[in-house]
A and B are shown apart, each in its own frame.
Chain A
Amino acid sequence: MVCYLIVFFILNYYFEETGSVLGKKYYYFFYTIFEYYSFALLIKFSIPSTKANHLFIWLSLIFTIFLIFFYSSIHIKRLDSIPIGIESIFIMVFIIYYFYSQLKNVSKQSIYEFFSFWIVLGILFYIGFTFFFNILVNNLDPGHFNTYYTYSFLGDIFKNIFFSIAVLFSLKKKKEPNTTIPNLDMINHHN
């Protein structure tokens, strides 16, 4: 997750500050594929099942082949809407599978006590905010584009807030003492 945050900070900074990569296929390809694998792997590691592994392998294979085909043959006007749309749908499949597996295995802990829940929630909000913008971005006039482009950062903000909560939960989990072993350090060392 930290790796994802660093790489995307650099990518977004590069995009916003220089603007030289606008319309560059290699940049979109790298951005989309890295985003897909980051999200997919984050969710996959939160689902302890072999079915999730199979799902990840197959969808990733299909998506990678599609991306190579797409970027080698299609001209990009403003943004690579189709790959982003497909990426979002695949990530939604992973999210639904994650929630399905959580519903199946009810533990004593509430779902929001797992840090993976906050990661998935962050991704879900991010997709929720940006999905339609990314799909329709090539059909927007420049005025509307600028307005909605700013609003699309709300998804990033929510995602980062939820990711931060996930980090807090993961740290909290590590700090929790093992309650099953009683504390027997009651020997008086002053004797």
Chain B
Amino acid sequence: MFLLQATNSSGVSFVLLLGTLGMLVLTVGLIIFIILHQRRVKRFNEKIQAMEQAQQRLLLNASIRLQEEERQRLAADLHDDAGPLLATARLYLNENLVNQDKATQLQSIFQARQIIDDTIQLVRNISHSLMPPTLKNFGLESAINDLFQKISGSGAINASSRFHEYKERLKEEKELIIFRVVQELINNILKHSNSSFIHLTQNVHAGKFYLRIHHDGRGLVQADFEKLNKSNVGLGLKNITSRLRVVEGNINFEKDISQTYYKVTIELPKDEPYE
């Protein structure tokens, strides 16, 4: 209105100068604001990126450490158990055996055979711990059911599992990863939770594969899990995260609405059926 009312020339000049000056101030202000804002956002993004890289490094370190621990365990098993057994068998089958009487020979051969059988069993156990045969031959459902039966059979804890919809198997690599994650979770529950039962259920919903573990002991919620994941402790949990990242899966730790149970939910995209 003021602009329209400014009819005399000096008034118009004043409005023109003031308006132009205002426009230029606005223009410069807008540019400065945009540049500063963009710099701030960029700095923030860089910070987030650095944090993500640090997290990745932690996960990588955890997975390397775990791999090394596994190798050490394997080396120890072979060196401490299989090595002495085979050495003993060799003692029974030494060169003097041919000079001994038949009864001693037979006894030595029998002893050596016993030891070799034990060694075979030991190697089989090591091999099974690396890749459970049930998982390879019959799939995730059987392997998990087998694992839970063994846990329940020990009498220490009541463990049960139920697969609701698993007609189409996941890919072999995916099954192994899920099995390892479940093993790690179960180990943690057995070690730290002091719970009286563990129950696992499986289902498929909206193209996603779900596994949920319930237990009534001490547990974690998501905040604890993320905190442990970012810290230098909690190697097993970091390993879970890195394994699930490979299969583009998620894990969620929460407490039941009744505040009685802890729930761990694994979610991953259901891909093409197993061939």
Contacts and interface: CB of A to CB of B under 8 A. Distances in A.
Interface of A: 99, 102-103, 106, 108, 110-112, 121, 124-125, 127-129, 131-133, 135-136, 139-141, 143-144, 148
Contact of B35 (A108, A110, A131): A110
Q: Which applies to chain B's interface (DSSP): helix, strand, loop or mixed?
A: helix
A144 B12 contact: yes
A125 B42 CA distance: 26
B188 interface: no
20 contacts: A99-B30, A103-B34, A103-B38, A103-B41, A110-B38, A121-B31, A124-B30, A127-B23, A128-B20, A128-B23, A128-B24, A128-B27, A129-B23, A132-B19, A136-B16, A139-B6, A139-B9, A141-B9, A144-B9, A144-B12
A140 B38 contact: no
Contacts of A128: 20, 23-24, 26-27
B34 A99 contact: yes
Given A136-B3, A136-B16, 15 more contacts: A99-B30, A106-B42, A110-B35, A111-B35, A121-B31, A125-B27, A128-B20, A129-B20, A129-B23, A131-B19, A131-B23, A132-B15, A132-B20, A144-B13, A148-B16
Contacts of B31: 121, 124
Contacts of B30: 99, 124
B37 A133 contact: no
Given A102-B38, A112-B35, A129-B20, A136 B45 contact: no
Nearest to A110: B38
Contacts of B7: 139
B24 to A, nearest CB: 5
A108 B45 CA distance: 9
Which 4 A-B pairs rank lowest in CB-CB distance, beginning with the nearest? A132-B19, A128-B23, A141-B9, A128-B27
Interface residues on B, range: 20 to 34
Contacts of A131: 19-20, 23
Contacts of B41: 103, 106
A1 B81 CA distance: 81
Contacts of A111: 34-35, 38
Nearest to B18: A132
B34 A136 contact: no
Contact of A103 (B9, B19, B37): B37
Interface in B1-60: 3, 6-7, 9, 12-13, 15-16, 19-20, 23-24, 26-27, 30-31, 34-35, 37-39, 41-42, 45
Interface string B193-222: 000000000000000000000000000000
A140 B13 contact: yes
B27 A106 contact: no
Contacts of B15: 132, 136
Contacts of A132: 15-16, 19-20, 23
Contacts of B35: 110-112
Contacts of B38: 102-103, 106, 110-111
B16 A102 contact: no
A129 B16 CA distance: 10
Given A106-B45, A129-B20, A135 B3 contact: yes
Interface string B116-143: 0000000000000000000000000000
Contacts of B27: 124-125, 128
A19 B19 CA distance: 28
Of B9, B20, B24, most buried by chain A (CB within 10 Å of CB) is B20
A164 B30 CA distance: 21
Contacts of A124: 27, 30-31
A94 to B, nearest CB: 14
A89 B39 CA distance: 28
Nearest to B38: A111
B21 to A, nearest CB: 9
Nearest to B40: A106
A110 B36 CA distance: 10
Contacts of B19: 131-132, 135-136
A133 B9 contact: no
Contacts of B3: 135-136
